[in-house]
């Protein structure tokens, strides 16, 4: 097997492996890039870390969720770059660099699923897998002009995948078009447990106000009009009972504590040269006490209950995916960190509640992609994909 075409530097530099796949099935003819946190038999699994890569050999099994796609006919073309230990939202790995964003070459791809998003956006691969703990499917999808779903927490098994924060981690994937997205969804998700249609659109002013400026608001309004054309006028809510900043800090503390506990032994024993930002986040997690974690867990349950009441069984929340187009590649570390915090105020809502959120590439601002999101009740993943197909088909 020859090394695949890589116009955006999205693939890990691993020797290609012929991975067996079914000759028939709904994904036959579609190429698949696999984020370098999922086991694929014959490939290394480096987790975006040179230290981890040096310690590991090749995997002797394939993660069940990847095998499911192979059994449906998808063809693995290689493993894709990710942020170090997936603990970033920018797609800039201190050790491996940053893939190119084909939709806006002067801007970052977002992360941590950076290589996957870049390769799909470049049409170098039809499907690529990601994971979403804090926003690592939704942000790159918005930045690169792709469809991306944060699945309902726990709906898809993460066996054979790198853990980061267990109560947030979910599987996701990227495609350019909704037709291929739905094909993958049919294979991996099956039918939703409920068939109640999502017919009640909702917008929340506090979320819409996260857009950075007039240009973003104008671009987003155009996308919102496309959604309203299908779903009808939305019910408007001013905000949640707690300000978004409290949602953000609840997520940050829970996620950081879980991430530290997941990797504390390895970090302590292997002493990896963690890149800037990543090191800071693990150190932050080390400082979160059990009492702080428990207090945040109580707040999270209240937030989940509140959003469940807002959505009911038939509600669909329409919201910006991120505050603006992707930051510029030459932005300072402080500037990227500031944007990350603003983005997480939007992205944390799905993460904290576990409810599914799909982002659609319906807008552009400053000549770059900008996503709009639909969020539904827990377990409404397939119904969200169906809604997305109706909207994108207009």
Kindly list the catalytic residues: 35, 112, 136
Radius of gyration of the chain from its Cα atoms, rounded to whole angstroms? 19
Q: To which residue do tokens 């969720």 refer?
A: 65
**Beta sheet of 315-320, edge-to-edge order:** 75-80, 31-35, 127-132, 170-175, 147-150, 357-365, 368-375, 315-320, 200-204, 235-237
């Amino acid at each position: 097997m020859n090394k695949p075409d890589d116009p955006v530097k999205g693939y890990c530099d691993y020797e290609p492996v012929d991975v067996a796949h079914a000759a028939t099935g709904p994904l036959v003819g579609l190429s698949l890039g696999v984020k370098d946190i999922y086991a694929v038999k014959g490939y290394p699994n480096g987790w975006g870390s040179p230290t981890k890569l040096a310690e590991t050999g090749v995997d002797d099994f394939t993660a069940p969720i990847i095998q499911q796609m192979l059994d449906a006919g998808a063809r693995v073309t290689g493993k894709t770059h990710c942020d170090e230990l997936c603990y970033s939202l920018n797609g800039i790995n201190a050790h491996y660099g940053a893939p190119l964003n084909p939709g806006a070459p002067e801007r970052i791809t977002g992360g941590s699923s950076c290589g996957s998003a870049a390769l799909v956006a470049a049409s170098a691969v039809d499907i690529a897998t990601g994971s979403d703990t804090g926003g690592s499917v939704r942000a790159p999808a918005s930045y690169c002009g792709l469809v991306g779903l944060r699945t309902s927490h726990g709906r898809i098994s993460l066996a054979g995948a790198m853990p980061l924060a267990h109560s947030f981690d979910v599987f996701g994937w990227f495609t350019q078009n909704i037709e291929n997205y739905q094909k993958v969804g049919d294979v991996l998700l099956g039918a939703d447990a409920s068939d109640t249609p999502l017919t009640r659109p909702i917008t929340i002013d506090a979320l819409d106000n996260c857009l950075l400026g007039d240009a973003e608001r104008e671009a987003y309004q155009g996308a919102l009009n496309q959604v309203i054309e299908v779903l009808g006028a939305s019910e408007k809510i001013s905000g949640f009972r707690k300000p978004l900043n409290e949602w953000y800090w609840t997520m940050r503390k829970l996620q950081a504590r879980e991430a530290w506990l997941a990797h504390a032994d390895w970090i302590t024993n292997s002493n990896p040269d963690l890149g800037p930002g990543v090191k800071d986040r693990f150190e932050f997690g080390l400082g979160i006490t059990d009492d702080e974690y428990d207090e945040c867990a109580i707040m999270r349950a209240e937030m989940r209950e509140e959003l469940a009441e807002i959505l009911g069984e038939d509600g669909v929340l329409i919201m910006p995916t991120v505050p603006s187009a992707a930051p510029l590649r030459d932005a300072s570390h402080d500037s990227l960190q500031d944007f990350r915090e603003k983005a997480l105020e939007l992205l944390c809502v799905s993460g904290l509640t576990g409810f599914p959120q799909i982002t659609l590439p319906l807008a552009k601002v400053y000549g770059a992609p900008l996503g709009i999101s639909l969020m539904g009740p827990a377990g409404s993943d397939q119904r969200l994909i169906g809604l997305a197909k109706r909207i994108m088909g207009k």
